[in-house]
Every structure is written in structure tokens, then in C-alpha cells.
Amino acid sequence: MKFKLKLIWACTFGIAAMSACNNASESKSQSKMNDTTNMELPLSKTDFQDTIDGKQTDLFILKNKNNLQAAITNYGGRIVGLWVPDKSEKMTDIVVGFANLKTYVTSTEPYFGATIGRYGNRIAKGKFKIDGKEYSSSLNNGVNMLHGGKNGFQSVVWDAKQVGDNVLELSYLSKDMEEGFPGNLDVKVVYTLTDDNELKIEYNAKTDKKTVVNLTNHAFFNLNGEGSGEILDHVLQINANTYTPVDATLIPTGKLDPVDGTPFDFRSPTAIGARVKTENEQLKNGAGYDHNFVLNASEGTGLTNAGCVVGDKSGIKMEVFTDQPGLQFYCGNFMKSKNTFKGGKQDDFRTAFCLETQHFPDSPNQPSFPATILNPGETYHTVSIYKFSK
């Protein structure tokens, strides 16, 4: 079974700073990286090496031919950092994270950079039914389950295998009834830093019992660089005519509301902060943007071009491609300056954003939403790509 919606779509920006996303479907050739060939990352592998629940943790470095680098730890399958060139060829770390394993373990924000499962986003009251039988997961977000429950995939140690310089394979066996989900779920996530300057993430899973699955990654981005301040002047475009409005606990109402005439209309390039303070019930419910956008679909082959973001200072452009039906946009509303990033700055309010490719929140309880059921004998396989240029 493959969850796929397909679209060929171009992210086009207007004049001045917004012109950076013109012809986004075309790759831009990369100029020479100046003196970045031997760039040393501000991280130490030994700071990530420990034993948790009897399994060894470590830090893995991926590098492509253009000298882009990604740092990933197998604790939670987390992207720790991602270094790409800005408009001045300066290698810039655009994913916020911590300098050591201990900080990830003790952080008040458990999801920085993590692989999320078994079910990304929220399930109302942690309850869902499969063939009439009710299952209950742990409640870790008020009255609801968020991102797989109290001990989701962000808190486990994955088995890791680095394949060459630019590929990391992570695998994990989620046992039957772990966090209340039925079936032994065999999961593999493959991170590839391609020579086209893409971070490609492939998710694969098989089960021995009928279950629900919704995997994603929870990287927090700041395209001006980790610790560079608010992301409200980043320019965002999302290919979605509708979104899923939520109640006060951030559970979808079941409706698909048009973005037209609302602060959720990012069909044209718009600064993230342009309308975030607008008087709007949905913005109030989410304390800002924390909503699932329903990606537009059309006939064709290839992945959906889900959206595009440009750092207003760095000029770094990030395009998102996926075969998933939804994109959760979160603009750092619950960042509270309680954790210190690897560069020394704190996780201040709205200093990072997330674009999580996924199925819709609470799909197991919403018959009108695309299904997230995985049956024995089927294979869950999805692909998402974050592509960088300037």
C-alpha cells in the first residue's frame, strides 16, 4: 500500500525578495563553495555516544559532492543540523538542534528534528477503532495524543547503518501494543543527502496486525541560520486551496475550509508573520499557525511540489516535495526560551518553523479523511524531499 497524491506544480514568487522562488521546479546550478570543502562541524561524535535502554547512541554525518552536510543521531532518528550555502556561499546551519545527547534527553521540547511515529500529529482523546475494536494511546497533549504518545519514536534508539558518505538507514521494531498501537511494526527510515542538494527521506513499514501509521519528520528550520532570530520575515508559499480547521484542542473539525480570504492563504508568496496576529478564531486556537494544509492534487507523475520557503536574510530557498496529502505548518508558537541550541542561542518564541509532510491529524476518527490503515502483507512507503538552492 502506498499513500500517494501526485502533482506537478511550480512555486512562483513575485518581485524583490519574493523573486527567489521563481521557477522553483527548475534546479539552480550551485557555484563553487569557496573554502567550505573541509568545513568542520561544531559537533563531537563523543557527545552523542552513550547507551540508552541497552542500545548504543551515536552521531552520523552525511555529505554530498557539493559539501552540504547533515548531522543525524539515532536517538529519536533526529536531524541535529543541516549546513547549506547562503547567497554569499557561507555554509549556514538551517536546522535547530542541540550539541549533545544529554540535552535532547532532558529538553522541554521533545521533538526537535525527530522521526515521528507511530502516528504523527494528534488523535482525539488518544482513542481510535479498527474493525470495531477500540484502542487507546497515552495522552500527552492535554486530552489528546500527539506524535505517537508519551514514548513515541522520538524517544527510542534506532538501529543505524551508514551507507557511504551520503546515506543513513535507520530501523526500529515497534512491538505490538507499544503506546497502544496494535501490531509489530517493522520500520525503516532512509536519509539521503543527494548531489542535487536534497535531503530525501524515505519511510517504510510493515505490520503483522492491522494498524494505523503516519510517519513524518519534525525538523525545526530557520533558513537564516540557527539562532538568527524570528522567522516571521521568511517568505512562504503553500500549494493548498483548503486546510483542516481545528477546535480549541487542535483536533480537526472534519471540514475542509477554503484558504481564500483568510490568513491561511499562502498560495501566493507571503511573509510568515504578515497575518499571524490577525483576529481569527483558528489562529487563536493554534496560538498562531499550527494547522494541516490539504495539498492540491492533479494527474501526473512525480511528487507533489508542496511548498517553498525563502530566508529573507540568507536567500536560502527550500522547496518541499512529497507524496503525502497534507502539510502541517507550525511557526514555533510554543517555543519558550527554555533550551539552548548548539550555537549557544535559546529556543526563543517563533525562531523556527516546521513543514511536516503527513496524513491529516485524527484521520483514524475522521472517515472523510484519507485513510491511514496498514494491513498485514502491505508495505507503507512514502517519500519526502527538502531541496535547497539560492
Confidence of residue 29 (pLDDT cuts 50, 70, 90): very low
Beta strands in 151-300 (DSSP E): 159-163, 167-174, 185-193, 198-207, 211-212, 216-217, 235-238, 240-244, 257-258, 270-271, 290-295
**356 catalytically annotated:** yes
Contact present, 321 and 304 (Cβ < 8 Å):
yes
Which residue among the candidates 147, 218, 234, 291 is catalytic per the annotation?
Answer: 218
Percent of the chain with pLDDT over 70: 89
Q: Are residues 370 and 361 in contact, defined by beta-carbon separation less than 8 angstroms?
A: no
Contacts 24+ apart (CB under 8 A), 57-64: 57/101, 57/157, 58/160, 60/160, 60/162, 60/168, 62/162, 62/165, 62/166, 62/167, 62/168, 62/191, 62/192, 62/193, 63/165, 63/166, 63/193, 64/165, 64/166, 64/193, 64/194, 64/195, 64/197
Distance CA 334, CA 104 (A): 17
Lowest mean pLDDT among 28-32, 155-159, 307-311, 344-348: 28-32
| 238-275 tens-digit pLDDT | 999 999 999 999 999 999 999 999 999 999 999 999 99
Range list of H helices, the chain: 101-106, 281-286
Please give the angle made by the CA atoms of 322, 231 and 11, to the nearest 5 degrees: 40
Q: How far from 301 is each of 4, 7, 87, 358, 372, CA to CA, in Å?
A: 10, 7, 32, 19, 22
pLDDT tens per residue, range 276-286: 999 999 999 99
Does 28 score more than 50 pLDDT?
Answer: no
> Which three cell numbers, joined as nine digits, stand for 102?
544529554
Q: Report the pLDDT averaged over residues 321-331.
A: 97
Residue carrying C-alpha cell 527510542? 156
Residue 2's pLDDT is 41
Cα(240)–Cα(139) distance, integer angstroms: 30
CA distance 281 to 7: 31
Higher pLDDT, 341 or 10: 341
Which position has the higher pLDDT, 46 or 13?
A: 46
Which residue among the candidates 226, 230, 356, 359 is catalytic per the annotation? Answer: 356
CA separation for the pair 84, 144 (Å, rounded) = 37
Express each pLDDT in 116-136 by its tens digit: 999 999 999 999 999 999 999
Check whether 169 has a pLDDT greater than 50: yes
pLDDT higher than 50, residue 30: no
pLDDT, tens only, 349-375: 999 999 999 999 999 999 999 999 999
CB atoms within 10 A of CB 326: 28
